[in-house]
Amino acid sequence: MELMIERAALIGLRGLPTNRAQALMERLKRIAANPFSYHANVERMTGYKDAFRLRQGSLRAVYRIDRSTQKMMVEKIAQRAGVYK
């Protein structure tokens, strides 16, 4: 599955220290390789179809899966307090 990073997520990613950003991207790539299998610290978001969140420390990455185009789109990357707003 193709991994797409949307603009809002890129802005959040650029604000992170390099080592944290690289670690988060590695996890997102592993998830994109097999998005519907079990991954630690990933939960389905209620009220949204094929939307998930990845928890890595105090960071959250919110992404959705488009089954028709086979794309995983990361919509937002931010600290826990601000990601769901």
Q: Write down the mean pLDDT value for the chain.
A: 92
* Beta-strand runs (E) in 1-85: 2-5, 42-44, 51-56, 59-66, 71-79
**Confidence check: pLDDT of 84 > 80:** no
pLDDT tens for 4-31 read 999 999 999 999 999 999 999 999 999 9
Q: What is the pTM of this model?
A: 0.89
Please tell me the predicted confidence (pLDDT) of residue 81.
77
42-55: average pLDDT: 92
CATH topology of domain 2-83: YaeB-like fold (3.30.2310)
Q: Rounded distance, CA 14 to CA 63, Å?
A: 17
Closest-CA residue to 69 (of 44, 37, 35): 35
**Confidence check: pLDDT of 82 > 80:** no
* Parallel, antiparallel or unpaired: strands 51-56 and 42-44: antiparallel
Tokens of 53: 């969140």
Q: Indicate the domain borders of the chain.
A: 2-83
Tokens of 16: 């992170």
